[in-house]
Amino acid sequence: MKRLSLLLLVFTCFATRAQQHEVTNYIDDIDLRASNVVAQLDINSTDKKKIKAIVVNQYLNIEKIEAKRNSQLEKLEKTVDDQEKQKLKSEEVWTDYKASISKLHDSYLHKLSKKLSDSQIVQVKDAMTYQVMPKTYFNFLDMFQNLNENQKKMIYDHLVEARENAMNVGTHKWQFQWFAKYRGKINNILASQGIELHHTSKAWEKKQLAKKNDSK
């Protein structure tokens, strides 16, 4: 019994330290990410500290909302056997999550708007999402050079919407998945308008690879 108690104590201590290490790593990660975000801004050091605090708090709140959602979904899987009932309950969890994250998103932008201009807020959005929006927009226009203005606007608007959603998730993986989802929507619209996608994209990729090799 003493041996079992000792093993449980050791395991508990190990688990606690592992959790503390995980939390510390996460806090270090979001601190670094927030530092990279404010580094993009041409503002004084005092304002940078204030903006960084807002960004860090945003990341923490996103993680908290996602953790609550994940916990609720895991609990449903373990406690609700009826698949139809589980599906309905899961939809309720996702509805609550979307409402919470939307409210947080609006509050975050409101806080930023008190200290930054519209163009600076866009800089924050792009920095939080690793510049995927402007890079992807440039790539689309470089790949399909005969697009009309309406098509360019469609691509731009879709990528802006992708960025708004990508800002609201806590991991790089899910951010990139949001952009992938909207790239798919854009491709479907372009294809429906008679734009040839497959050969054009392959030729563009080959061209980019050649440029990369030439620069080595």
Instruction: Check the CA dihedral 156-162-167-170 and report its sign.
Output: negative
Q: Are 167 and 125 in contact (CB under 8 A)?
A: yes
Q: What is the pLDDT along the chain (216 residues), one digit of tens a residue?
A: 444 444 444 344 434 444 444 455 778 899 999 999 999 999 999 999 999 999 999 999 999 999 999 999 999 989 988 889 999 999 999 999 999 999 999 999 999 999 999 999 999 999 999 999 999 999 999 999 999 999 999 999 999 999 999 999 988 899 999 999 999 999 999 999 999 998 999 989 988 888 877 776
- Report pTM: 0.84
Structure tokens at 119: 């163009």
Write down all domains in the chain, each with its CATH number in brackets.
2-116 (1.10.287), 129-214 (no CATH)
Distance CA 21, CA 39 (A): 27
Distance CA 210, CA 208 (A): 5
